[in-house]
Amino acid sequence: MCLDQIQTTIGIIQAALTSIAIVIGGIWTYRQFIRNRQKYSKLSINHLVYSSSINKAYRLIRVTLNLKNHSQIKIKLCDITLRLLQVDPWPDEIIDKALMPNETSFEWPLIEERIVSAEQNVIEPNEDDNLYFDFIVGTGIKKVIIYSHIKNKKQPEIGWNLETLINLDQQ
């Protein structure tokens, strides 16, 4: 075998090994980043609620918004909206209203809304963070829905939502 044939054979083997390495790298990339969606953040939200009577007329509601990052990338928070909606006493404007076939819930009256910027907050992978919101409502309010929305900084048109129905008499 002459030197030219050896160099040609080595060149063919090198090209074949390079092609195999590229295919293996492509498969790994697909499995790691596309199928597992590693470039997207995964956030879970939980409401922890404490309620206490202040006096005969008012009660304090403290909402702890627990955020847990389940992804492998850090999450930079953006705007956070928290709403307190009245359920009981049952609002007069809802008593006779029927839901349309494409509706999933009533438009509960807004008691209070907070929109806060949380851009300084970053949640590292597999870590969690708590944000605290205090509300004062009349003691006549018996049940509320707590609605929260966390805007996704990378994709502002989407985000994470949670609604929790709370019976304040059982707090």
* pLDDT tens digits, one per residue of 19-57: 998 988 888 877 666 655 566 778 899 999 999 999 999
**8 A C-beta contact, residue 77 and residue 123:** yes
The token pair that represents 160 in the structure block: 């994470």
| pLDDT above 90 (res 165) | yes
Closest CA to 66 of 106, 16, 104, 121: 121
Where do the structural domains in the chain lie, given as residue ranges? 1-36, 43-170
Q: How many CB atoms lie within 10 A of CB 54?
A: 11
DSSP-assigned beta bridge partners for residue 56: none
CA 19 vs. chain centroid, Å, equals: 41
Q: What residue type is assigned to position 109 of the chain?
A: P
Instruction: Give percent of the chain with pLDDT exceeding 90.
Output: 39
- pLDDT score, position 28: 80
Angle at 91 between CA 88 and CA 97, to 5 degrees: 120
91 confidence band (pLDDT: 50, 70, 90)? confident
Mean pLDDT of 126-145: 93
Query: What would the CATH number be for the domain defined by 43-170?
Result: 2.60.40.10
More confident call, 162 vs 95 = 162
